[in-house]
């Protein structure tokens, strides 16, 4: 059995050791038995977490790269968690889009980590919340979380980010109709990327009309960018700053972080409970339900009661 010095890894990550940081996130992804010990050592420093989501092909990776450059020019230390589809062969991340961030790979103030979904739905990887905690503890000021290309219901990012950016692009068919059942309900900032293309203003108008059907306070901003030309990026950074200030002044920032921690604890507790209840007691109760001798609600209550007795 390999003994892992979790304290040394956490200390190394705090000191800027990239190998220690990468090792910590790998342990998280692999569900290591050392994970509880690692989490006990981590201390939050208040990094702002920005989610970047949208349908495939809207330029999320290019936009992320442009944001990294702008934030670095302002002195931010930037961590990036880029969620990728899983390889059907290895279950690892398919890294096709990371080439767009290659300009930052040699920057000591930037850490980019691709994570595979490994079958997890919602546009994120199951290990994302803990990876965010590791980057926060390691001293990153801003953490960008770029989701895998998502559709209507894969909107888990809103539960893990302080500010959620929804990225759209003109010329992709009826884009507003395609995403409004999900993505139009979660965004704090909406970005129409590739705005140098025909139809950007039309898309902006349609989006504004759609958002008006469900008004929020503050009014959600819509910005036009061309990330590959670095057009509109400074305005986008200012919009992110404005939203951060609003969250802090209104008290919503603390509320969102409590909600995020609550969800993380709930998921961990649910996973532990599922692991505990599997086995003979569950099979016995399930047989009674299948035979019509007991209803499923009574069986569930009995199963939970048995766990409490333990």
Residue 16: pLDDT band with limits 50, 70, 90: very high
Residue 276 and residue 143 in one domain = no
Residue 89 and residue 234 in one domain = yes
**How confident is the model at residue 192, as a pLDDT?**
94
Half-sphere exposure in the Cβ direction for 124 (13 Å, CA): 20
Mean pLDDT of 221-249: 95
Calculate helix-pair angle for 6-14, 18-29, nearest 10 degrees. Answer: 130
Residue 202 and residue 54 in one domain = yes
Residue 88: pLDDT band with limits 50, 70, 90: very low
**How confident is the model at residue 8, as a pLDDT?**
93
Residue 4: pLDDT band with limits 50, 70, 90: confident
Residue 288: pLDDT band with limits 50, 70, 90: very high
Q: In which domain, by residue range, is 216 found?
A: 44-250
Residue 98 and residue 212 in one domain = yes
Specify if 48 maps to a domain. Answer: yes
**How confident is the model at residue 181, as a pLDDT?**
53
Lowest mean pLDDT segment, chosen from 62-71, 93-102, 135-144, 241-250: 93-102
pLDDT greater than 60 at residue 15: yes
Residue 205 and residue 297 in one domain = no
Residue 114 and residue 68 in one domain = yes
CATH code of the domain containing 183:
3.40.50.300
Q: What is the pLDDT of residues 188-197, one digit of tens each?
A: 999 999 999 8
Alpha helices by DSSP H, listed for the chain, are 6-14, 18-29, 35-41, 60-73, 128-137, 175-179, 200-212, 233-250, 252-277, 280-290, 296-309
Specify if 255 maps to a domain. Answer: no
Output b/e per residue, 96-128; b: 16+ Cβ within 10 A. ebbebbeebeeeebbbbbbbbbeebebbbbbbb
pLDDT greater than 60 at residue 267: yes
pLDDT greater than 60 at residue 300: yes
Mean pLDDT of 23-49: 90
Mean pLDDT of 221-228: 94
Provide the whole-model pTM.
0.85
Chain centroid to CA 130: how far?
A: 10
The C-alpha atoms of residue 158 and residue 168 are separated, in whole angstroms, by 16
């Amino acid at each position: 059995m390999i003994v892992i010095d979790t304290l040394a890894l956490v200390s190394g990550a705090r000191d800027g050791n990239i190998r220690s940081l990468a090792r910590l996130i790998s342990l998280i992804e692999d569900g290591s038995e050392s994970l509880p010990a690692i989490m006990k050592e981590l201390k939050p420093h208040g990094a702002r977490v920005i989610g970047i989501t949208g349908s495939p092909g809207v330029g999320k990776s290019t936009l992320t790269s442009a944001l990294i450059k702008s934030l670095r020019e302002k002195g931010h230390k930037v961590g990036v968690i880029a969620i990728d589809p899983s390889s059907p062969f290895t279950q690892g991340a398919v890294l096709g889009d990371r080439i767009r961030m290659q300009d930052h790979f040699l920057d000591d103030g930037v850490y980019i980590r691709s994570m595979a979904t490994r079958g997890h739905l919602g546009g994120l990887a199951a290990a994302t919340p803990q990876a965010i905690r590791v980057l926060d503890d390691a001293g990153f000021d801003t953490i960008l979380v770029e989701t895998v290309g998502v559709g209507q219901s894969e909107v888990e990012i809103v539960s893990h980010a302080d500010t959620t950016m929804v990225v759209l692009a003109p010329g992709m068919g009826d884009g507003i109709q395609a995403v409004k059942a999900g993505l139009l309900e979660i965004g704090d900032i909406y970005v129409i990327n590739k705005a140098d293309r025909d139809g950007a203003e039309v898309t902006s108008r349609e989006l504004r009309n759609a958002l008006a059907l469900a008004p929020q306070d503050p009014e959600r901003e819509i910005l036009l960018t061309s990330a590959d030309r670095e057009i509109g990026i400074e305005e986008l950074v200012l919009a992110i700053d404005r939203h951060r200030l609003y969250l802090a002044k209104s008290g919503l920032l603390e509320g969102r972080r409590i909600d995020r921690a609550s969800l993380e604890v709930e998921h961990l507790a649910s996973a532990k409970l599922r692991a505990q209840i599997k086995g003979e007691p569950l099979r016995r109760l399930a047989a009674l339900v299948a035979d019509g001798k007991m209803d499923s609600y009574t069986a569930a209550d009995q199963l939970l009661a048995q766990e409490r007795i333990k």
